[in-house]
Amino acid sequence: MADDVAVAIARWRERAPQIADEIADAWSLRLGEAYAPGFCGHVVRAELDDGTPAVLKVYYPDRESLQEPDALERWNGDGSIRLLRRDDRLCAILLERCEPGAFLSSTGGEHALDVLIGLMPRLWTDASGFHTLEDEAALWLDDGLAEIRHGDVAAGLIRELAPSQGEQVLVHQDLHGDNVLAAQREPWLVIDPKPLAAEREFAVAPIVRSPELGHSKQDVLYRLDRLSAELGLDRERARGWTIVQTLAWSGGNYVEPHMEVVEWLL
């Protein structure tokens, strides 16, 4: 199954620039230089008819990305990049451009954590209509999570945490220092949402493990402690969800760094 997905993504990557050209013609956009390619996204600088700078993103329709435009619409630019237009059939979205566009991670781990703590509660809005963490965790188990190293721990945590969650809010399950950009409308704006309906404790997982904010046991535990304390979260639930999602997202080049985080948290 993984090989089939890899082939499908490779084919999509080949066609993505053509899709961007089709959208540019339909929306009267002038396309510029492409950004560094993402795993499942083709992102290009664009200008509207009136010269307004924008960004055109064509994304692969996997379950983590399909509701990206829905999340951006729900946030409506409050702490996040603004959605200007969408084409759900071609999986394309037009976004406001962040300038100067530096990654939050470039400012240093402590300042980045300050900014993230300020942004996160603004994203925790009504989650109605979004794919749920409970369903996502069940899919992780179906995909073989319990069979990898420490997977038995993750499976036990899912059985404990998933049915006992608190209030469901909209969370960005890939929020970290490289998914927040310097902008003009606000100092920092969140990009690239991977939205879920989940309890707040789950939202800290990608930040706790973020290697760009410091990758050591001390760094990881410091982020867990500070996020839990300042956001009023249950530290043990946050720790458990971080273990679960870090293992679920431990494919490719992330295997060893993710396993280190899990072992530090255990």
What is the chain's alpha carbon radius of gyration, rounded to the nearest angstrom? 18
Tokens standing for residue 153: 């721990």
Identify the three-state secondary structure at position 29.
coil
| Rounded Cα gap, residues 177 and 92, in angstroms | 24
| Rounded Cα gap, residues 259 and 152, in angstroms | 14
| Rounded Cα gap, residues 244 and 221, in angstroms | 16
Please confirm, yes or no, whether 114 is among the known catalytic residues: no
Identify the three-state secondary structure at position 207.
helix
Closest CA to 63 of 173, 152, 148, 165: 173
- Pick the catalytic residue from 174, 178, 192, 219: 174
- Beta-carbon contacts of 46 under 8 Å, excluding residues fewer than 6 positions away, are 24, 29, 30, 31, 32, 53, 54, 55, 56, 94
Identify the three-state secondary structure at position 52.
coil
* CA–centroid distance for 229 within its chain: 22
Residues labelled as active-site residues:
174
